[in-house]
Structure 1
Amino acid sequence: MCQHHDMHTVIKKSRHRLELPLFFLTAFLTIATFLVVLALSFYKQETLEFTQDITVAQYRDAHKEAKGMTDTQILDSLSEDERELIGYVERINPLLVLLAPVGFLLLIIYQIGKLYGGVRADGVRVGPNQFGEVYKIWAEMAQKLGLKKTPELYIQNGSGALNAFATCLPGYRSFGVVYSDILERALANNDEKSLRFILGHELGHVRYNHVTWWYNMLNIIGNMPGFNYIIGMPLSRSREYGCDKLGAMLSEDTEQRGLLMLAAGKHLYRQVNAEAYYAEHVYNRSYWGAVSNFFNDHPSINWRISALQQNKHGSLIWDNGKKK
């Protein structure tokens, strides 16, 4: 019981401190936007008249010749771009608004179902009789994280790419995928720590519910253009930091070789001089590195390594680096 409590505490503390605030913010905005649009759809005529009044007033301010025109004449003379908002309001329908979340869920099911089907069709499922040593690691870590059911794990040919991911088919099951080059190198090098880190990281996404349909539905506004740089991408980066911590805890990979594999490649990562790497990429930061990080949904690898080394919650926007 005490051991279970300790693991629960570790999992809770490993989650990035800003993940839940960002998630609750985007969830609130998503629900609020849905409710506002739904309310407007029930008062369509009033909304349409209000929108037309604003459009007419803006047109009169921008066109001197419109001073003597009636509202109807102005509306008839609007360009297609100027009528865009009015067109949206005219097409709004309460039934369509209510069905929008169902449509989005069906889209998720289709996309992930197609992905799952492709993985099963073209990949290899890991199990007790198929790469049994890998399955043993996967199942043991899943149990350690308190997952009630061990997610399926598949090997997929990445054609040289180094990647792994986890997702969930709504109403069916969670599953993970590891690209073949990662697994091949880890097994050839007898590098269990790096393999554990990568697989543990993906299990972290399952444990934190990042792969669930409701988590992704509530993040719709955060992923909208404009909002994605303010909410969506920082939220995504916070998720990666938290899963890194779980992967490090499960693997005891103190040199972060699992992340160095992503930086230097599958053949050279074990030859990287860790101290020289830290001096150049962790202690000595680049301003342009922060720019690159801002436009990515994953934190920079050196930021991730720095966060693990200092046992801190990684920076989402700006990081001065690790102090010597």
Structure 2
Amino acid sequence: MKEWVCSRERTLGAVLLVLGVLVWLGLIVGTFGVMLIVLLFGFVAYVFAQSALVAHVRGNGVQLGAEQFPDLHGQFVSCCEKLGLDKQPEAYVLQGGGMLNAFAAQFLGHRFVVLLSGVVDAMQAHPDGVRFYVGHELGHLRRGHAVGGLLRMPVLWLPLIGGAYARAKETSCDLHGLACSSSGESAARALAALASGPQRWQQMDMKVFARQSRHGAGFWMSFHELASGYPWLTKRVARVMGANRLPGRNPLAYVLAAFVPYAGRLGGGFGLLLMVYLIGVLAAVAIPQYQAYTIKAKLVQAVQASNGAREALAQQYLQSGQIPESLAAAGLPEMAADGSRLSLDAEGMVLTVQTPRGALVFTPHRDEKGGLGWECAGRTPLTAQQLPAGCMVAEGTGKF
């Protein structure tokens, strides 16, 4: 049964599982249990959403059985046996408004396969095609895709690897569908309805359609596939028809896709918008922080450069008991080593250090031992985040 699983799904799934668990642990430990509360609310939301889906299917769909659509039920049972599923999921046909689709769901241990009526009607002339869709959805259940995303969730957005894992899952499920089909041609014709609609697919030349996969080697097609959770339909058809080698992708597309978060079915365009949004948010946070850091670093230099002047002023006052009339009278320069300008208010011996970023004001005060200490305050427009340790935002000067 290993041949029904894309090898990349196992590898990528394992990598994302390890990364996801590490991120969950980091969030839980780093937020001291806040993420546990988030997970609890997430589980409650999941229960309500899944229960609503299951209730809708059971209340409005037609359950397949020996007495209800026995032809479809027989195909479903045969496919379950082929894939080795001992416990068969519940199977339903549901009105889909013409949509060609099918899906699998799992809720509190119950598993479901739902075929939308558009798929069933489209395959009226190709009964074996239903088996492909059934096998594809059973593949999702068999591989645990319906419930296996929680641990990987924090890292599924990662560029390249998130989309690659999603595409690998779809490839695995196509292989399950192929296993339930009578031939690769039969499986390809089931997929053809997704390309040309519920009627025209019957007139398609599948080999010609599979050859269209060569277009996937172009830059933009390569990029949008790398950002998508689904392989191009032409590639899916070529694969189930037994193509030995599919066209490669443009290497430059990997460079661009590496910067675009995986956005699921919303595609690369939304992923690009998401990236721009994330960059904007990070910039809005990081730029002010960086600016505050650079200003703070300059102010720290100003504090250190003016330290000698404060020590000299304190020493002269303690020796003479009088405040120097000016910096010149104290024998001190009016410019510090870092280029800051110094000025002295003789009334309170308040030293102002004027920097290009703003002014720092040092006010002397008596300490417990009778010596002099200095209180540091930053005048507007300096903010608390920009000031060195021990300084606070204040205006005006004080006396001692």
Letter in 2 for 1:26: L
1:314 to partner: Cα distance: 7.1
Q: 2:47 aligns with which of 104, 109, 117?
A: 109
**C-alpha distance in 2 between matches for 1:166 and 1:303:** 23
Q: Deviations over 1:12-65 (max 9, x none)?
A: 122111112211222112211122223323xxxxxxxxxxxxxxxxxxxxxxxx
Q: What's the counterpart of residue 181 of structure 2?
A: 251
Question: Structure 1 pair 131/38, CA: closer, same or farther in 2 (3 Å)?
Answer: same
Percent identity between matched residues is 25
> Are 2:203 and 1:271 equivalent residues in the alignment?
yes
1:285 to partner: Cα distance: 4.1
Q: Which runs of 5+ in 2 are unaligned?
A: 252-400
How many residues align? The count is 248
Q: 1:233 aligns with which of 142, 153, 163?
A: 163
Question: Structure 1 pair 274/15, CA: closer, same or farther in 2 (3 Å)?
Answer: same
Higher strand fraction (1 or 2) = 2
Higher helix fraction (1 or 2) = 1
Q: What's the counterpart of residue 152 of structure 2?
A: 219
Larger relative contact order (Cα-Cα within 8 Å, sequence gap ≥ 6): 1
1:283 to partner: Cα distance: 4.2
Q: Is residue 142–residue 203 contact of structure 1 (8 Å, CA) maintained in 2?
A: yes
**C-alpha distance in 2 between matches for 1:242 and 1:249:** 11
Q: Is residue 122–residue 193 contact of structure 2 (8 Å, CA) maintained in 1?
A: no
**C-alpha distance in 2 between matches for 1:182 and 1:303:** 20
Which of 1 and 2 has greater Rg?
Answer: 2
> Are 2:140 and 1:205 equivalent residues in the alignment?
yes
TM-score of the two chains, using structure 1 as the length reference:
0.70
**C-alpha distance in 1 between matches for 2:195 and 2:96:** 17
Question: Structure 1 pair 318/108, CA: closer, same or farther in 2 (3 Å)?
Answer: farther
Q: Is residue 201–residue 244 contact of structure 1 (8 Å, CA) maintained in 2?
A: yes
Q: What's the counterpart of residue 172 of structure 1?
A: 109
Q: Deviations over 1:80-131 (max 9, x none)?
A: xxxxxxxxxxxxxx33333433333332222221111111222211111111
**C-alpha distance in 2 between matches for 1:145 and 1:183:** 21
Question: Structure 1 pair 233/319, CA: closer, same or farther in 2 (3 Å)?
Answer: same
Map 1:134-213 onto structure 2 (within 5 A): 134-169=72-107, 171-187=108-124, 189=125, 191-212=126-147
Letter in 1 for 2:38: A
Q: Which runs of 5+ in 1 are unaligned?
A: 1-10, 42-93
> Are 2:29 and 1:39 equivalent residues in the alignment?
yes
1:148 to partner: Cα distance: 2.5
Q: Is residue 28–residue 34 contact of structure 2 (8 Å, CA) maintained in 1?
A: no
Specify the SS of the correspondent of 2:99.
coil
Q: Deviations over 1:206-257 (max 9, x none)?
A: 1111112xx1111212334xx1x33322111101101111111210232210
**C-alpha distance in 1 between matches for 2:237 and 2:111:** 27
Q: Is residue 197–residue 258 contact of structure 1 (8 Å, CA) maintained in 2?
A: yes
